[in-house]
Amino acid sequence: MSEPIKMIDGFPFEPYSHDTYTEEEMLFRSKVFYDWMNKRRTVREFANKAIPKEVIENIILTASTAPSGAHKQPWTFCVVQDPEIKAKIRVAAEKEEFESYSNRMSKEWLEDLKPFQTDWKKPFLETAPYLIIVFKKAFDLFPDGGKKTNYYVNESVGLACGFLLAAIHHAGLVALTHTPSPMNFLMRILQRPENERPFLLIPVGYAHPETYVPKLQRKSMASVAEFY
């Protein structure tokens, strides 16, 4: 049966329905979801184990359900599985990261990163079975060469990345939100069009079986929220 469409000012609208819950169910569901999301951690060591491509596709479809300015969905998710391209990305990223850790980052910044024990070496760019490189589209490009500006691009792509990380966690996989800086080399290696800029590089895979993550404390309710 087709959806009853209502035209408003010449534009089609469809009925919206969604699941609702009793207060008791909401309390339970919100707590279970929080406990489960609270288990997500950034992981830097990956098992060299394959993942079906369809899982990655579902994760990307989930990310692409994020809200965006005027529903322009100003993002491209580039999925790299090819070992040769991964190797190229690693070489270029390590070159920039070596420079950043040696000269570009402040003493305070390096001090703040010590608990995470990061450095310029990025082996995960080759061990993770997939690299998802998220590009933001400042404007849309049309085949006739026309351009149209997008809106709230950083907010939109940031939201999509949040959805992406939640979907990765939901699939039982792990990810790293990696920001080699500067990351223009990704445009060159992946030959992206002129309207795209790299936003985040997200290796995805299974966690290495002997993974340790920094012991972190998340901020309390009182320090992250104000109720008026």
Binding site for ligand IYR (CB under 6 A): 97, 113, 116, 118, 178-181
Q: What is the sign of the dihedral through the CA atoms of 130, 214, 164 and 147?
A: negative
Residue with smaller CB distance to ligand IYR, 65 or 179: 179
Q: What's the token pair of residue 117?
A: 């024990």
- Nearest distance from C-beta of residue 197 to ligand IYR, angstroms: 16
Residue with smaller CB distance to ligand IYR, 74 or 174: 174
Residue with smaller CB distance to ligand IYR, 115 or 193: 115
- Nearest distance from C-beta of residue 83 to ligand IYR, angstroms: 21
DSSP state of 218: P
**3-class secondary structure, 228:** coil
- Nearest distance from C-beta of residue 119 to ligand IYR, angstroms: 7
Contacts of 213 (CB under 8 A, 6+ apart): 41, 42, 43
What CA–CA distance (Å, rounded) separates 156 from 59? 17
Residue with smaller CB distance to ligand IYR, 64 or 118: 118
Residue with smaller CB distance to ligand IYR, 48 or 181: 181
Residue with smaller CB distance to ligand IYR, 1 or 216: 216
- Nearest distance from C-beta of residue 159 to ligand IYR, angstroms: 20
Q: Please state whether beta strands 11-13 and 174-175 pair in parallel, antiparallel, or not at all (unpaired).
A: unpaired
- Nearest distance from C-beta of residue 37 to ligand IYR, angstroms: 19
Cβ atoms within 10 Å of 132's Cβ, excluding its own? 22
- Nearest distance from C-beta of residue 165 to ligand IYR, angstroms: 14
Using only the alpha carbons of the chain, give its radius of gyration: 20
Cβ atoms within 10 Å of 135's Cβ, excluding its own? 21
What CA–CA distance (Å, rounded) separates 202 from 63? 13
Residue with smaller CB distance to ligand IYR, 103 or 191: 103
Residues in the chain, how many? 228
Q: For ligand IYR, which residue has the nearest CB?
A: 118
- Nearest distance from C-beta of residue 28 to ligand IYR, angstroms: 34
User: What distances in angstroms separate CA 200 from CA 8, 136, 177, one per listed residue?
Assistant: 38, 9, 7
